[in-house]
Structure formats: C-alpha cells, structure tokens
Amino acid sequence: MRPSARGERYQRLPLHGRGASVEGVTAADDSSQTIRALPVREVLDGLAIPALPEGTTPRGLLAFVKLDEPDGGVGWSVRVTSNLDDEEVLGLLVGYVEHLKKEAVCSWETPDPTRADT
C-alpha cells in the first residue's frame, strides 16, 4: 500500500499531523475528526536524538519519522507541533535542504583517501 498523492497513509492519521496539545487536536485534513495528541516521549519511545544546547528550551517540533508498516513495508510520517506556522516549517525545510546540498558538495570535493591515484 503506497501513500496517496495527498500525503496521507491512513485517513485517521494525516501524514502532516499538526497538533501539540495533549488534550487533542483537530486533524489538518478536511474531516472534522479529532486526533489525540500525545507527549513526544510516548510517541517516539525507544528513539534517541542528541541533546539540545544547554540553557535552551524547546518551543516547537518538526519531525520526520520512518515507520515499519504492519504490512512489512516502510513508511514515513510527519509531525508538526501546532505552534509552528507554515512559513516557519517551509523556512526550516528550505534551510535544511540547502545545508544538505552544501554537505554533499563538500563530500564530493574531498578526495577519497582509499583511492591509490590521489
């Protein structure tokens, strides 16, 4: 089963998944159904990421989560806390893509130390 062009794998859980309150949020799709939001530690239990810089406080989250699907396939889910607007998310994505491009270019320009002709 492949995600639809609209970006949703399951009707009940939109791929874009906006919402941060623990009480519940309204789905970001056209339905009026409510999706229960959970603390990040409950949803991503078992995963670890580097700590945030000392003295900082998290204000929002954009997460791409790679999933093992029930049918044995691999899927992706995106979650965004409700306090990040679309412009912030877009800016973050564009900035990170540019960062990744620069990293890739740098890695291509670095000689391969395993090659005998360098």
The confidence band for 96, taking pLDDT boundaries of 50, 70 and 90, is very high
Report yes or no on 11 lying in a domain: no
Report yes or no on 45 lying in a domain: yes
Per residue in 4-30, pLDDT tens? 333 333 333 444 444 433 333 334 444
pLDDT at 118: 52
Distance of CA 6 to the CA centre of its chain: 17
Report yes or no on 90 lying in a domain: no
Question: Given a cut of 90, is residue 51 above it in pLDDT?
Answer: yes
- Domain count within the chain: 1
Per-residue three-class SS string for 45-100: CCCCCCCCCCCCCCCCCEEEEEEECCCCCEEEEEEECCCCCHHHHHHHHHHHHHHH
The residue range of the domain holding 60 is: 25-83
